[in-house]
Amino acid sequence: MPQIQIIDVTNRDGEQTARISLAKIQKTVINWLLDQMGVYQSEMGFPLSPHERNYINANYELMEPGPNGQEPLMKHIQLGGWSRALATDVEKAFQQTKIKHFNLSISTSEQMLRWKFREKFSEEDILKMVTDATQAAKAGGAITAGVNAEDASRTSLDFLIRFAQAGKEAGADRFRYCDTLGHDDPSTISERIGTIAREVEIPIELHCHNDLGLAVANSCAGAIAACEAGQDAYINTTVNGIGERAGNADLVSCILALRYASRWGKTNLLSNQIDLKKAWKIARYVAHAFGLEIPINQPGVGANAFAHESGIHADGALKDRHNYELYDYEVLGRGERQALPTGRVITTGIHGGASGLEYVYAQMDLGFRDGEHAREILYLVQCANLSTQAPLTEEELWLIYHYPDQVRKLLTLTP
């Protein structure tokens, strides 16, 4: 039976959001939390960007056993990179990084060909470029390669079929349908995806933006249509729906829709590897990393997602939660009381010293071999805090302690 998997793009499309960015250690923690959640793949960034090289290579190292038998930090997730559909870009990416999964992107709509490319490329040129790029990826040792039609929702269906077919013949593992401007609705995307899946017989990846507030609905409708046409589907998400302009399809909302919506929830098409109990943790971490509050009305993880004040609603929820709650807050990893210290607080960071460092790590049941070990970790903690410009989280401190060699790479940029 076809299946729906999640490919999260927080570390690529999410980080492209105007006015915000992530430190490389924060992107690494996001990959780690996505792995814990059972997400199939993280589109981790741009392998051709010089400032991404150390980060990409360090993350691939974190997927391998350490020199002293240390377990890999990330055990299941695939780490992929976004590239223009140019063979030269793919070849350079292989020279500079350990990347093994590619998404190869190029614009396909008449609007883009005419007004972005200024008629420099014809449809035949686009097909040749995506073919050459896919072949270069496979020849270079890519485990998977997807072909991305940017602005697919405004591209003629006939050309999308030709584009997906060209990618498939060149060795592509899936076709990414990019609703780049959020132009589709659930009806149109279902019809188009169903047709492409049947005609080309290739797995479909849905990449939907939220300009009309339809990203989650479109992503799920398109994925269901692909599965009903006999093909696996992959939904692109971002944590908390972060993304360019009005954002992308929210990770938690897509999972909830595929598990609890009236018809979609009965299909059982979503991968059972997804652990929704990790939702609360990753949503809070990403909000901290971006410096953005989770919207109060965010599905599942917003402060008001399970809040009731209306007398009728409160009475009904207290009698039986399912009167006014479609799903239980426990399934999202919520429910534990959180307490903040009101007395002495010891932190460590840019200006931290040995005593504060030892105290903070002792609260995590971690100690140091000797003074040299403590000084090494302290320096990395100081550099990490300088990089994030935010209080270091327990996840970040844990990563620094256990994987100092990889963290050193994450913190190293060469202008």
Question: pLDDT digits over 138-156, tens only?
Answer: 999 999 999 999 999 999 9
The string of DSSP letters for 136-199 reads HHHHTT-SEEEEEEETGGGS-HHHHHHHHHHHHHHT-SEEEEEETTS---HHHHHHHHHHHHHH
Q: Are 12 and 21 in contact (CB under 8 A)?
A: no
Q: Are 215 and 247 in contact (CB under 8 A)?
A: yes
Q: Which of 59, 52, 62 is nearest to 15 (CA)?
A: 52
Write out the two tokens for 52: 């991404």
Q: What is the DSSP secondary structure assignment for residue 45, as one 8-state letter? A: E
What residues contact residue 19 under an 8 Å CB cut-off, 6+ apart?
A: none
**Which tens digit of pLDDT belongs to each residue from 31-52?**
999 999 999 999 999 999 999 9
What residues contact residue 129 under an 8 Å CB cut-off, 6+ apart?
A: 85, 86, 87, 106, 121
pLDDT score at 415: 87
Q: Are 378 and 405 in contact (CB under 8 A)?
A: no
Integer Cα distance of 122 and 96 in angstroms:
31
What residues contact residue 247 under an 8 Å CB cut-off, 6+ apart?
A: 17, 209, 210, 215, 238, 241
DSSP reduced 3-state for 4: strand
Write out the two tokens for 292: 């953005």
DSSP reduced 3-state for 71: coil
DSSP reduced 3-state for 413: coil
pLDDT score at 361: 98
Indicate whether 67 pLDDT > 90: no
Indicate whether 69 pLDDT > 90: no
Backbone angles phi and psi of 119, in degrees to 5 = 60, 20
Q: Are 411 and 24 in contact (CB under 8 A)?
A: yes
Mean pLDDT of the chain: 97
What residues contact residue 370 under an 8 Å CB cut-off, 6+ apart?
A: none
For residues 52-76, average pLDDT: 94
Integer Cα distance of 387 and 389 in angstroms:
6
For residues 224-228, average pLDDT: 98
pLDDT score at 214: 98
CA 273 to chain centroid, in Å, comes to: 16
Write out the two tokens for 370: 């000797």
pLDDT tier at 13, thresholds 50, 70, 90: very high
For residues 393-397, average pLDDT: 98
pLDDT score at 91: 98
Integer Cα distance of 99 and 213 in angstroms:
33
Indicate whether 115 pLDDT > 90: yes
Write out the two tokens for 327: 């799903």
The residue type found at 147 is V
For residues 381-408, average pLDDT: 97
**Which tens digit of pLDDT belongs to each residue from 256-302?**
999 999 999 999 999 999 999 999 999 999 999 999 999 999 999 99
9-23, 62-76, 182-196: which range is least confident on average? 62-76
pLDDT tier at 59, thresholds 50, 70, 90: very high
Integer Cα distance of 141 and 237 in angstroms:
26
Residue 132: CA atoms inside 13 Å, Cβ hemisphere, count?
14
| Structural domains of the chain ordered from first start | 4-290 (3.20.20.70), 354-407 (no CATH)
pLDDT tier at 341, thresholds 50, 70, 90: confident
Q: Are 25 and 392 in contact (CB under 8 A)?
A: no
* Helix ranges (DSSP H) in 202-337: 215-228, 251-260, 279-290, 311-319
